[in-house]
Amino acid sequence: MKVFERAEDLLHIHSELGSQKLAFIPTMGALHQGHLSLVRAAQDMGHKTIVSIFVNPLQFNNSEDLLKYPRTLEHDLALLEAQGVDFVFTPTNEEMYPTTTADVVVDLGLLDSRFEGAFRPGHFHGVVQVVYRLFKYVNPSEVFFGQKDLQQCLVIEQLIEQVFPHIKMHRIPTMREESGLAMSSRNVRLSSESMLKAAEISKSLKDIATRKEEFCEAVVWHAQRLTQMGFEVEYLSCVSMPWMDALECDHFSKEPNGSNGPQNAVIFAGSLNGVRLIDNWVF
Ligand code: AMP
């Protein structure tokens, strides 16, 4: 496994690919099995893999969150090596944000002002800028993102459609603990009691997704249930893709699975004892 800090060193990678394609998995480190599932998905398709580890300051709207974000580089590198990753890119802030590079402009429609966009102002601007730069540096033919960050996937799909139409995007299902809790780098900040409570999020999402015509009542009921358990709920909603329009109570799609795959999702964000958690259930 080769580890690079500088973007210019990545140029050599392409001569080492042979007939294989280069699959890219961007991360912010503090790696867990969820991240590794993206790597495995790329390897299973026969691609060479490159993982980036960069905690992107531009996408944190809360400086305390940035400060507290777990950083475990040595452990991350050991995990990636054991997983058989080919290349790792660990750039510095200066490498990612040279003063000479202009921001890219991508039309995100209402994605930028809804849900994560509304609760984390500037977040998707930061995501788009960092992923744009990473795609430019790495020049992959396939990229792998986790459905755990569903709205981020939809934003990246716009970036790809508008700026990198030659790149193929893969959305990989969420890896969960046995309890159903979505794996996340932030989970290390949860006490064991909070971990148990946090597992209730996915139970609520799953229940709402199976309620069909009664989903609006179920949303209200589960928002109250989670609040009573100690969550500060930011949003709990049923939305359609790709723009995350809220589903109308009397407009539940009875046949959500069209030819393009699942169309709807129940989405959640909220804090438990100061730790912000997001999850979703696609149906
Ligand atoms: P992050 O390091 O949190 O920026 O995540 C890097 C990538 O891993 C993103 O595409 C995430 O959506 C994905 N990811 C994070 N957690 C999970 C999970 N539990 N299952 C699948 N993918 C995940």
pLDDT tens digits, one per residue of 227-275: 999 999 999 999 999 999 999 886 655 554 555 555 899 999 999 999 9
CATH of span 2-172: 3.40.50.620
Q: Write out the CATH class of domain 185-282.
A: alpha beta
- pLDDT the model gives residue 248: 84
Cα(101)–Cα(38) distance, rounded to whole angstroms? 29
Residue 171 CA to ligand 1 center (angstroms) comes to 10
Residue 230 CA to ligand 1 center (angstroms) comes to 25
Q: What is the atom index within ligand 1 of the atom nearest the CA of 31?
A: 2
pTM check: above 0.75: yes
Q: Where are the beta strands (DSSP E) in the chain?
A: 2-4, 22-27, 48-53, 87-89, 142-146, 168-172, 231-240, 245-246, 264-272, 275-282
Cα(237)–Cα(207) distance, rounded to whole angstroms? 13
- Residues having CB closer than 6 A to ligand 1 are 27-28, 34-35, 37-38, 145-146, 148-149, 172, 174-175, 182-185
pLDDT tens digits, one per residue of 75-123: 999 999 999 999 999 999 999 999 888 899 999 999 999 999 999 999 9
List active site positions: 35
Q: Give residue limits of the domains in the chain.
A: 2-172, 185-282
Residue 118 CA to ligand 1 center (angstroms) comes to 21
